[in-house]
Amino acid sequence: MTKKQTVKIKFYSGEDIPLELHKVRVVQKLNLVPIERRLEALFESGFNTFRLNTKDVFLDMLTDSGTNAMSDMQVSAMMHADDAYAGSQSFFRLQKAVEDVLQKKYFLPVHQGRAAENVLAKAYIQKKGDLIPMNYHFTTALAHITQYGGRIVELLYDEAYNITSEHPFKGNMNIEKLDAVIRETGKENIPFIRMEASTNLIGGQPFSIQNLREVRKIADKYGLRIVLDASLLGENAYLIIQRESEFLHSSMAEVIGTITGLADIVYFSARKLSSSRGGGICTGNENIYHELEGLIPLFEGFLTYGGISVREIEAMAVGLYETLDETMICQSPQFISYLVRSLMSKGVPMVTPPGVLGAHVDAMQMCSHIPQLQYPAGALAAAFFLVSGVRGMERGSISNQRDENGNETYADMELLRLAVPRRVFTLSQIKYVEDRLVWLNENRHLIGGLKFIYEPPVLRFFMGGLEPVSDWTNKLVAKFREDFGDSL
């Protein structure tokens, strides 16, 4: 049994400061351009932070996907990659890492997380109207399921929708509702149950192992499979060690193995899970492997590379082992917790308890004067970029897709997500984020709404274009200059 590492470090001053347990050896210069240039950049990018050019971005808090810092071990592993279309040794090293860390014998590589979602939806959604119960959707998972004619139902407990809460596991599946949905729908119309580790869209909120065990019982009762989205599994496991009494003394390896052991199929974005690129699907069941196998060469590439470069495959293998190192995983959640607590103490409405992936600002409350039809979270993301150069991501109604009749489907939460990728930012950068957000909160009445001027039919949030409904951006720039003088 692996012994749990201790990562708690107390300061003599009594201050609760997250201490970096790594040193910086390769750096990248950042630009902080003046607010007037940031305003131009917003118009050029259709007020959509996805479309900004990083030459205009100071701190990139868009996502942790493909932006976590790589370790020296990962970078050096990339140097001994084995270039081969078929049978690459790099692949076998990765397969071994998957077996050791995720404890599943059969592995199918895919080029990133959503490719796994495509393969699973294609393989298992047999007829129009098939229903996938899940704790909560992720944008790309939903898009693939609906693309193949499926539907989803989200089954969180009511507490998960309370923005401020101390519930440690807001990502838990509502067991009673799950049972009822299966009975009403008929198990023959349910291809699988999907559980997402650290439910992304409600603020990176984890589920507990106790809850997953109960989901397993229901799945067994009806003979259904559980598909685990493990993209944020490392962070979910870390929060289980922090919050679930049975696992307070467990190692990351034990917790991760317990979770994956309860799922039939595990898929992941390696851009997140292993701080690399790529993705994968794994299972302990040979039949499942064969059900999916044929789709990999069709969509991804041969079975020993799956569309991933061999160099990234090496980085992925090392990154998977490093997921078991609590000192590596804890850095991002600890920074997030620090940022959330300091912002809350200064009156900024935040999602609590602090989750993983990023700090989430409650735009519905901060911009309560902006109707949901004018996208408060999108407006806040644009306004925050304008006053800080920090690029966050809208996680609200813009990220939702329209229903089959073309009507808006309003998000349950309007959030500005400020991602904190693993080991990328320093504490003074986090303090800058706090400073500018506190200022913006005090001047929030100056933020106005947005409207679409270009709306793609699928995953509109990626490339959609918007514009402000009034000249609110100029007022915000004027107030910034008044308060900050010639500061960048």
Ligand X SMILES: Cc1ncc(COP(=O)(O)O)c(C=O)c1O
CB of 226 to ligand X, least distance (A): 15
Q: Please report whether residue 342 would count as binding ligand X according to CB under 6 A.
A: no
Q: Please report whether residue 376 would count as binding ligand X according to CB under 6 A.
A: no
In this structure, the strands spanning 151-154 and 131-134 are parallel
CA atoms of 329 and 438, how far apart (whole Å): 28
Q: Which of 43, 85, 161, 462 is catalytic?
A: 85
Q: Of residues 79-118, which lie at the interface with ligand X (CB under 6 A)? A: 112-114
Nearest CA-CA partner of 443 in 412, 481, 410: 481
82 is catalytic: no
Tokens of 38: 């940031």
Which of residues 67 and 365 has its CB atom nearest to ligand X in the complex?
67
272 is catalytic: yes
337, 18 contact by CB (below 8 A): yes
Q: Which of 47, 106, 138, 338 is catalytic?
A: 138
CB of 218 to ligand X, least distance (A): 22
3-state secondary structure of 150: coil
In this structure, the strands spanning 465-468 and 450-454 are antiparallel
Which of residues 41 and 240 has its CB atom nearest to ligand X in the complex?
240
Which residues, other chains included, contact 35 with Cβ-Cβ below 8 Å and sequence gap of 6+?
386, 387, 477, 480, 481, 488
Which residues, other chains included, contact 75 with Cβ-Cβ below 8 Å and sequence gap of 6+?
315
Tell me the residue nearest to ligand X as measured from the CB: 113
Which residue in this structure is represented by tokens 């704790």? 135
Q: Please report whether residue 56 would count as binding ligand X according to CB under 6 A.
A: no
Q: Which of 38, 461, 473, 480 is catalytic?
A: 461
In this structure, the strands spanning 151-154 and 465-468 are unpaired
Q: Please report whether residue 196 would count as binding ligand X according to CB under 6 A.
A: yes
Q: Which of 104, 170, 395, 444 is catalytic?
A: 395
Stretch that binds ligand X, among 266-274, 309-317, 361-369, 440-448 (CB under 6 A): 266-274
Q: Which of 104, 114, 194, 272 is catalytic?
A: 272
384 is catalytic: no
- Exactly one of 49, 135, 258, 269 binds ligand X (CB under 6 A); that residue is 269
247 is catalytic: no
Size of the site for ligand X (CB under 6 A): 15
CA atoms of 49 and 391, how far apart (whole Å): 6
139 is catalytic: yes
Which of residues 64 and 434 has its CB atom nearest to ligand X in the complex?
64
CA atoms of 34 and 14, how far apart (whole Å): 37
3-state secondary structure of 360: strand
Which residue in this structure is represented by tokens 């992304």? 200
Q: Of residues 201-230, which lie at the interface with ligand X (CB under 6 A)? A: 229
Q: Please report whether residue 231 would count as binding ligand X according to CB under 6 A.
A: yes
Burial class (CB in 10 A: 0-12, 13-18, 19+), 438: middle
Q: 126-153 b/e with 16+ CB inside 10 Å = b?
A: eeeebbbbbbbbbbbbbbbbbebebbbe
Q: Which of 64, 229, 264, 412 is catalytic?
A: 229
229 is catalytic: yes
Q: Please report whether residue 421 would count as binding ligand X according to CB under 6 A.
A: no
Q: Please report whether residue 135 would count as binding ligand X according to CB under 6 A.
A: no
Burial class (CB in 10 A: 0-12, 13-18, 19+), 230: buried
- Exactly one of 279, 280, 319, 353 binds ligand X (CB under 6 A); that residue is 279
- Exactly one of 39, 232, 379, 381 binds ligand X (CB under 6 A); that residue is 232
Which of residues 106 and 138 has its CB atom nearest to ligand X in the complex?
138
Q: Please report whether residue 130 would count as binding ligand X according to CB under 6 A.
A: no
Which of residues 387 and 411 has its CB atom nearest to ligand X in the complex?
411
395 is catalytic: yes
List residues binding ligand X (CB under 6 A). Answer: 65, 112-114, 138, 140, 196, 200, 229, 231-232, 269, 271-272, 279
List residues with catalytic annotation.
85, 138-139, 229, 272, 395, 461
